[in-house]
Amino acid sequence: MQDKTTPAGARRISVLGAGAWGTAVAMALAARHDVLLWGRNTAAMQEMAAARDNLHYLPGHPFPPGLRIATDFDATVAHAATNAAGQDGLLIAACPVAGLRPLLEQLKHYTIPNIVWLCKGFEYGTGLLPHQIMQQVLGDSVASGALSGPSFAQEVARGLPCALTIASHSAALRDCVVSVMHGGNVRVYSSADLVGVEVGGAVKNVLAIATGVADGLGLGLNARAALITRGLAEITRLGTALGGHVETFMGLTGMGDLILTCTGDLSRNRRVGLALAQGKALTTIVAELGHVAEGVPCAKAVRELAARLGVDMPITNAVAGVLFDGDQPQALVAQLLARDPRGEASLPIKPT
């Protein structure tokens, strides 16, 4: 990794995690900033550096000239530190939820100005959201937040339009991320509702599995629309029970991300549902996917959390039954259709 003078007006950014989404974000940022992309597998990173392409997770999308590949963790973290002019860099954690705690534990030994995570889900075993994991490991000493929204890595890597939300309790961090990322084909909104943004990003993956099952069984577009609509109600019930704001679930990180993940052919979680409908075993599906489908572990975590909180989440429960209890995919639909009729509650939406 060679030293490089930071361009005037650019930020120094380090992306920790070289999966599809981490790579796509690094590619998008490298057009205007000094970006390092780091991954744990040194051999894989060396291959990326030579090919100028993430052949395993994001093939066919050549890296822009400004993107540098890193294998030295110390140097990568130091790259995102505050520079001599007092301008903060930006550290981006691009790992799955299961890898966030180990990564943060590793970062405890460094001085970092801030960190933003890209993962969406609840930590299995604890039921914690990413910001709660962050609180446990690093406390309040580091400005932090979640970058979320409807986004497929392949489209971002191609430079197609995308709208995201940065959620943080720190106004300074929100401003930093907006200034760094907003521009070109990427639009970034900000939110102080960290809980709402994270819940929306997590639970929509579970609901995408349900819509994949319905599509795989040939149940039609009417059924898909019903699942998405009632799924949004489930997200909102859980999110508000945890302290999220209703209007957040009507926005990019709620409704927007839900629609994309439930309908897009690039959705890994939807592909899990399609494969379940074909009768494939979960272990086979995960192996064939080659990527992490966060909706799988999230379904179990959300089912347990909703039960503790007394939140009604029938679609999530049905998905978890198919994934972990041996229920047949057809049972998911039968279980939902067998529910007693009731009134459809309307959700209050604050004017924007």
DSSP for 51-82, written as a single string: HTSBTTTBTT-PPPTTEEEE--HHHHHHHTS-
pLDDT score of 293 more than 60: yes
pLDDT score of 167 more than 90: yes
Query: Given 108, 204, 300, 350, which residue is catalytic?
Result: 204
pLDDT in tens, 173-198: 999 999 999 988 999 999 999 999 99
pLDDT in tens, 21-80: 999 999 999 999 999 999 999 999 999 999 999 999 999 999 999 999 999 999 999 999
pLDDT score of 172 more than 90: yes
pTM for this model (two decimals): 0.92
Which residue matches tokens 């030293």? 3
Q: How far is CA 101 from CA 107, 111, 117, in A?
A: 10, 17, 11
* Mean of all residue pLDDT scores within the chain: 91
Phi and psi torsions of 203, nearest 5°: -75, -25
Task: Report the CATH fold assignment for 195-337.
Answer: N-(1-d-carboxylethyl)-l-norvaline Dehydrogenase; domain 2 (1.10.1040)
What per-residue confidence (pLDDT) applies to 141?
86
CATH 3.40.50.720 fits 12-192, yes or no: yes
How far apart are alpha carbons 15 and 91 in whole angstroms?
6
What per-residue confidence (pLDDT) applies to 87?
74
pLDDT in tens, 236-261: 999 999 999 999 999 999 999 999 99
In the chain, CATH 3.40.50.720 covers: 12-192
In the chain, CATH 1.10.1040.10 covers: 195-337
Percent of the chain with pLDDT over 90: 83
Is 300 noted as a catalytic residue in this protein? no
Compute how many other C-beta atoms are within 10 angstroms of the C-beta atom of residue 230: 15
What per-residue confidence (pLDDT) applies to 340?
59
Q: Which of 34-38, 125-129, 241-245, 348-352 has the lowest mean pLDDT?
A: 348-352
Question: What is the token pair recorded at 257?
Answer: 């991300």
Name which residue leads in pLDDT, 81 or 135.
135
